[in-house]
């Protein structure tokens, strides 16, 4: 669950919230505590909206990025076709492309 709490399923696992996880990554990377917030352009009529939050100026140029998909289901962003049982898959972003861009921008130190 986005806000934390018990998940649905066989294990009944208790999860931290996304905010808790992000706060820990921001602290670990020494980033600014206030993010830059950007609503991404709505290119497709797919019932979703994407909000990008970026915590910058971390150690050695690190940053923490969160993309929140409002209206999306439990799917892989950019995945087609839609799987009805899992909900809406946004076409606004591609998780594959975004991860590749992030890792190119922040390579592992040698």
Q: What is the pLDDT of residue 57?
A: 97
Model confidence over 40-56: pLDDT tens digits?
A: 999 998 899 999 999 99
**Neighbouring C-beta atoms of residue 48, cutoff 10 Å:** 20
Alpha helices in the chain (DSSP H): 18-29, 95-105
Q: For the chain, give the percent of residues with pLDDT over 90.
A: 58
| pLDDT for residue 94 is more than 90 | yes
Report the predicted TM-score, pTM, of the whole model to 2 decimal places: 0.85
Q: Please name which of 1, 24, 25 lies closest in space to residue 14, comparing C-alpha atoms.
A: 1
Q: In the structure encoding, which two tokens stand for residue 105, read together?
A: 């921008």
| pLDDT for residue 97 is more than 80 | yes
Please state, in angstroms and rounded to a whole number, the distance separating the CA atoms of residues 75 and 17: 18
Q: Please name which of 50, 66, 57, 51 lies closest in space to residue 33, comparing C-alpha atoms.
A: 57
CA 81 to the chain's CA centroid: 21
Please state, in angstroms and rounded to a whole number, the distance separating the CA atoms of residues 4 and 53: 19
pLDDT band at 1 (very low <50, low <70, confident <90, very high): confident
For 24, how many CA atoms within 13 A lie in the half-sphere containing its CB? 5
pLDDT band at 64 (very low <50, low <70, confident <90, very high): very high
Q: In the structure encoding, which two tokens stand for residue 85, read together?
A: 């049982």
């Amino acid at each position: 669950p986005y806000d934390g709490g018990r998940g649905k399923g066989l294990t009944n696992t208790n999860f931290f919230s996304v905010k808790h996880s992000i706060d820990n990554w921001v602290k670990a990377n020494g980033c600014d505590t206030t993010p830059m917030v950007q609503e991404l352009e709505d290119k497709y009529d797919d019932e979703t909206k994407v909000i990008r939050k970026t915590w910058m100026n971390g150690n050695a140029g690190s940053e923490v990025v969160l993309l929140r998909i409002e209206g999306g289901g439990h799917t892989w962003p950019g995945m087609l076709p839609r799987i009805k049982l899992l909900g809406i898959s946004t076409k606004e972003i591609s998780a594959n492309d975004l991860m590749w861009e992030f890792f190119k921008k922040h390579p592992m130190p040698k």
